[in-house]
Structure 1
Amino acid sequence: MNTDEYELERETSAPIDMLEHYFAAHGWAFERSGDEEIVATFQGSWTQYELRAIWREEDQVLQFLALPDIRVQAEKRAATYETIGLINEQLWLGHFELWTSSGLVLFRHAALLEGEEGGVLSLIQAETLVEAAIEECERFYPVFQFVLWADKTPQEAIAAALIETQGEA
């Protein structure tokens, strides 16, 4: 770890500032809306993700969303809700949702940032927020695709998508 990385790791910043540094360090395109919101894009293994953070200073809460470009048609919503319920049982941080107005599936979680320093985010916290969202979206993206495009039941989709392989081919 070089000196600049060490200094950045030790620093804390306003939440949107820290996420801006994090996104810039990874070379991800981002757009900032003042001190309250930042939106970045990230190319994952399956799709391009929109990463959105919203800072609510009055509540000292940073809400983080990852949108994996999954749209659900009306006839698939019941199966998608069941899928989301089964997936959410397995998560340690955050949850998936289906926005009824747009049919978008997204991953969301929040961080309460109150305390002595109030309203600051460390690099480690930023990394945890972003990487947890991306990891869960990457892990469960195939499950949604099996339900939406291969007409698998939620249980079949989870079983098929989450097979753990052992050894090397």
Structure 2
Amino acid sequence: MTTLYIDEDDISTSSVLDLVEDYLTAQEWSFERFDEEEVTAVAPGAWGEIHLRYMWREDAGLLQIAAVFEARVPLPKRAKIYETLALVNERLWLGHFELWSDEGALMFRHAILVTDSEVHTAAMTEAVTHAAIKECERFYPVFQFVLWSDKSAEEAVEAAMLETMGEA
């Protein structure tokens, strides 16, 4: 992931989503702007593409960042996934995972309060995007264990969260 070093003198944008587009361009990720409230992008991830969605709520001064990975939850597995979500979310410092019930999509979401400082907003957007991708990559195996290996939520979290010591 390319780090965007932000210089206040270089930023001359008129909207929060312009800052998002500047960041996505620096990352060389494909993106599409739908209107003055939404930009979507595709970022490479360790387990496949991660679809990013940036939604601007001017009335609340909030920028919501959502990251969706390529995992759909069939109806019979949803109860186990909700249990898994509770265990996974206990381990997060920022944002949360949820199940988008309409499509059965698993996503990571977080919102940031936008300030008058474009530099701060751009830096927060970069940091939250990086965190979203990192957490999707970190917890993807947990969700896969529950969905396809028929593990319990506890077994999946324990198996996926084992940290190796040293190198082989």
Q: Same fold (TM over 0.5)?
A: yes
Structure-2 residue corresponding to 1:43: 44
Is structure 2 residue 61 aligned with structure 1 residue 86?
Answer: no
The offset of 1:130, in angstroms, is 0.3
Structure-2 residue corresponding to 1:62: 63
- SS of the residue aligned with 1:50? strand
Structure-1 residue corresponding to 2:133: 134
Amino acid at match of 2:111: A
Structure-2 residue corresponding to 1:163: 162
* 1:82–1:6 distance in 2 versus 1, CA, 3 Å: closer
Any stretches of 5+ residues in structure 2 without a counterpart? none
Is structure 2 residue 142 aligned with structure 1 residue 143?
Answer: yes
- SS of the residue aligned with 1:128? helix
* 1:103–1:94 distance in 2 versus 1, CA, 3 Å: same
* C-alpha separation in 2, matches of 1:156 and 1:12: 50
Structure-2 residue corresponding to 1:20: 21
The offset of 1:19, in angstroms, is 1.1
* C-alpha separation in 2, matches of 1:151 and 1:102: 21
Structure-2 residue corresponding to 1:77: 78
* C-alpha separation in 1, matches of 2:152 and 2:74: 16
* 1:139–1:61 distance in 2 versus 1, CA, 3 Å: same
The answer to whether the Cα contact below 8 Å between 1:18 and 1:121 also exists between their aligned partners in 2 is no
The offset of 1:6, in angstroms, is 5.2
The offset of 1:32, in angstroms, is 0.7
Any stretches of 5+ residues in structure 1 without a counterpart? none
Amino acid at match of 2:50: Y
The offset of 1:72, in angstroms, is 0.4
The offset of 1:127, in angstroms, is 1.2
> Comparing 46-55 with 31-40, which one deviates more in the overlay?
31-40
The offset of 1:121, in angstroms, is 5.3
* C-alpha separation in 2, matches of 1:28 and 1:139: 21
- SS of the residue aligned with 2:142? helix
* C-alpha separation in 1, matches of 2:47 and 2:120: 29
The offset of 1:10, in angstroms, is 7.1
CA offsets 1:91-135 (integer angstroms, 9 cap, x no match): 111101111121111111101114xx2788533212111001101
Amino acid at match of 1:122: T
The answer to whether the Cα contact below 8 Å between 1:48 and 1:69 also exists between their aligned partners in 2 is yes
The offset of 1:156, in angstroms, is 0.5
The answer to whether the Cα contact below 8 Å between 2:17 and 2:36 also exists between their aligned partners in 1 is yes
The answer to whether the Cα contact below 8 Å between 2:33 and 2:39 also exists between their aligned partners in 1 is yes
The offset of 1:35, in angstroms, is 2.3
* C-alpha separation in 1, matches of 2:38 and 2:6: 26
- SS of the residue aligned with 2:87? helix
